[in-house]
Structure 1
Amino acid sequence: MEIYKALSIFSALSQPTRLEIVRLLIKSGDNGLLAGEISETLNIRPNTASTNLLILVNSHLLRKERQGRTIRYFVDFEAMKNLLTFLMEDCCGGNPELCQPIIDKIACTPDNAQQ
């Protein structure tokens, strides 16, 4: 991942509502959520949700699919993986075993799903 793409994602995440949206969509997994479900769950106005969703889509952290008259939003897990890889690619000064606890913590495993 190039540094400017990472900066675009971090810029998009630097606002509380957008960060909440991403965290909510991460929880929804591959099912994603409709725009209305996002605004209802987070108790934000639909136009506010739309504006923030557009910023997140433009950062390439989210993707969207039109379903009739509605739009379903998803976290782009490939983009998330690339961002985390970018952050950790030179981890621990050549001692990758020092990073393993971090990797274990963020990995999607049955043990982590209950935490």
Structure 2
Amino acid sequence: MDESKTIAALAALAQPTRLQTFRLLVEREPEGVPAGELARLIGVPQNTMSTHLSIMANAGMVIGERQSRSIIYRADLEGFRSVMLYLLQNCCGGNAALCVPLIADLTPCCPPKEGATDRT
């Protein structure tokens, strides 16, 4: 990840509808959500949601996958991970003890399900 990609990703999330959408997609991992349902759940017109999803996809924050006549959107967790790693690079000036609380807060709220597999 480089600075310009990080700025694009952060800019994509720096808007209320897009941030709500990204958080909803994270909650719905790994199933994803059809574009029309996203618009309904967030409470925006479908064409507005389409614009927001395009901005987030171009910034590497969401992935759309066509399934029949629908496009299922998912949070691009790898893209998000890259942004977070870029931001935390050289964290705490190399003093690992200062990073412990941050790392603890970033620990997943729920352990992986037994037998869970990667979707790729």
TM-score for both structures, normalised by structure 1: 0.90
Q: Secondary structure at the match of 1:65?
A: strand
Q: Which has the higher helix share?
A: 1
Q: Deviations over 1:34-85 (max 9, x none)?
A: 1111111111111111110000001111111001111000111111111111
Structure 2: how far apart are the matches of 1:99 and 1:90?
10
1:31 positional shift: 1.0
Q: CA RMSD in A?
A: 1.3
Secondary structure of 2:28's counterpart equals helix
The 2-side partners of 1:97 and 1:34 are apart by 43
| Secondary structure in structure 2 of the residue aligned to 1:31 | coil
Q: Where does the alignment leave 5 or more consecutive residues of structure 1 unmatched?
A: none
Q: CA deviation at 1:14?
A: 1.3
User: Any residues of structure 2 matched to 1:10-49 within 5 Å, and which?
Assistant: 10-49=10-49
Aligned counterparts of 2:27 and 2:69: Cα–Cα separation in 1: 24
Structure 2 segments unaligned to the other structure (5+ residues): 112-120
Compute the displacement of 1:107 (Å).
Answer: 2.2
Q: Distance in 1 between matches of 2:63 and 2:21?
A: 13
Give the structure 1 partner of residue 83 of structure 2.
Answer: 83
The range that moved more, 97-106 or 2-11, is 97-106
Paired with 1:102 and 1:84, the residues of 2 have a C-alpha distance of: 12
**Whole-angstrom distance in 2 between the partners of 1:29 and 1:98:** 31
Q: Give the partner amino acid of 2:12.
A: A
Identity of aligned residues (%): 37
**Residue identity in the other structure for 2:110:** P
